[in-house]
Amino acid sequence: MLKDTLLYLAQNPRLRDFVVQNKLTRNVSRRFVAGEVLEDALRATRALNDRGIQVALDLLGENVAIKEEAAEAMRDYVNAIELIARTQIDANISIKLTALGLDISPQLCEEYLNTILESGREHNVFVCIDMEGSAYTEQTVALASRARERYELVGTVIQSYLYRSHDDIIKLVDQGTRIRLVKGAYQESQSVAYQEKADVDRNYVELMHILLARGNFPAIASHDEAIIDDACRFVRDHGISKSSFEFQMLYGIRRDLQDKLVKQGYNVRVYVPYGSHWYPYLMRRMAERPANLMFVVTNALR
Ligand code: FDA
């Protein structure tokens, strides 16, 4: 109930303006967001790299409705790739297709995506296409699959709460596309997605086994210790190398677990969001864990 309310409010422009303009909530958002400019993300990345952790840089922004804003997002993503190459930080990037104008025109979005992938190829930087709400799944899978035919360094995300994900994974794995597996962070109806956590978790484990056994350097993106333990057991029992996959977690969440996995010799990558459009991202993090809502409220009131 609280989760649904928070995910609903994530789309509310009036609450967004109030929260984003409020200095206190802006400060509190720093628990989950590296900062508002690329230099903040660079600083956070260096600190993570020093702990033996790789990074996926995510410029926040989604559902852009104006062509110029989509072009600006494209240029910002290219800037991030160039910064990674210039500074030699250990990072790749994550992008959202609705930030590149998917709502305006799929053709325009694909053109901008290809510009980013050209830059990724030139600088040897991998680009992951994040997965958004189910209204975009079909287009995202199709665009990622088409992009993979031309570019090596591209992958996408699959959400275990969707019924269709098993079929998508088989198709993408056969094509050699790199996949990040997540549970899914959006509000979805019973017609397309499992509603019970137990079903989402069970499907996650099934899909994870497919990826670990046959995937191209998959990312197991979760903070769920039972799932992470299962992954460690599965690779050990099947003689799969620790170097053939990576764990991924979100910035500011379960730092203890990130360090523990690094110490055990696993690849760990942390997703580092930055930028001024942090409101929907913060709301999704609160929806995942009500304790985060308490963290934001009590610190904002302090
Ligand atoms: P679950 O939600 O069951 O949580 C397990 C445990 O992890 C909790 O008990 C708690 O201890 C901890 N935890 C989880 N979330 C927390 C939070 N917000 N704050 C504090 N503790 C928390 N989704 C999507 O739809 N599209 C995408 O492209 C991505 N991309 C992405 C990248 C990366 C690197 C990660 C880690 C996650 C995503 N996600 C995503 C989000 C994902 O779908 C999911 O909502 C979150 O990862 C939370 O799910 P868990 O797997 O952690 O399990």
CA distance 211 to 173: 8
Q: Do 120 and 175 reside in the same domain of the chain?
A: yes
The rounded distance, in Å, linking the Cα atoms of 21 and 8 is 20
Tokens at 60, concatenated: 């926040």
197 is in an annotated binding site: yes
- Which ligand 1 atom sits closest to the C-alpha of 224? 5
Residue 225 belongs to a domain: yes
Q: Can 289 be counted among the known catalytic residues?
A: no
* b/e burial code for range 52-84 (CB count within 10 A of at least 16 → b): ebbbbbbbbbbbbeeeeebbebbebbbebbebb
Q: How far is CA 188 from the centre of its chain?
A: 18
Active-site residue (options: 16, 148, 178, 180): 180
Is the domain of 138 the same as that of 10?
no
CA 26 / ligand 1 centre spacing (Å): 21
The answer to the question of whether 119 is labelled as a binding residue is no
Residue 76 appears among annotated catalytic residues:
no
The domain of 5 spans 1-32+283-294
Per-residue pLDDT of the chain (302 residues; tens, 9 = 90+): 778 887 887 788 877 777 777 776 777 778 889 998 999 999 999 999 999 999 999 999 888 999 999 999 999 999 999 999 999 999 999 999 999 999 999 999 999 999 999 999 999 999 999 999 999 999 999 999 999 999 999 999 999 999 999 999 999 999 999 999 999 999 999 999 999 999 999 999 999 999 999 999 999 999 999 999 999 999 999 999 999 999 999 999 999 999 999 999 999 999 999 988 877 788 888 887 777 777 666 665 55
Whether residue 51 lies inside any domain: the answer is yes
The answer to the question of whether 16 is labelled as a binding residue is: no
Domain membership of residue 23 (yes or no) is yes
Give the nearest ligand 1 atom to 157 CA.
28
* Nearest-10 crossing angle of helices 197-214, 165-175: 10
**How many CB atoms neighbour CB 164 within 10 A?**
15
Length of the chain measured in residues? 302
- Do residue 171 and residue 220 come from a single domain? yes
Which of 179, 205, 250, 295 for mutating ligand 1's site (highest number of atoms within 8 Å of CB)? 250
190 CA to centre of ligand 1 in angstroms: 20
Is the ipTM above a cut-off of 0.90?
A: yes
Return d(Cα 251, Cα 255) in angstroms, integer: 8
Residue 126 lies in a domain: yes
Residue (of 258, 215, 204) closest to 238 by Cα position: 215
Split into its structural domains, the chain has a count of 2
Residues 170 and 287 reside in one and the same domain? no
302 domain-assigned? no
- Measuring CA to CA, which residue among 86, 83, 97, 92 is closest to residue 56? 92
β-pairing, 91-95 vs 178-182, is unpaired
Cα angle: 76, vertex 78, 83; to 5 degrees: 90
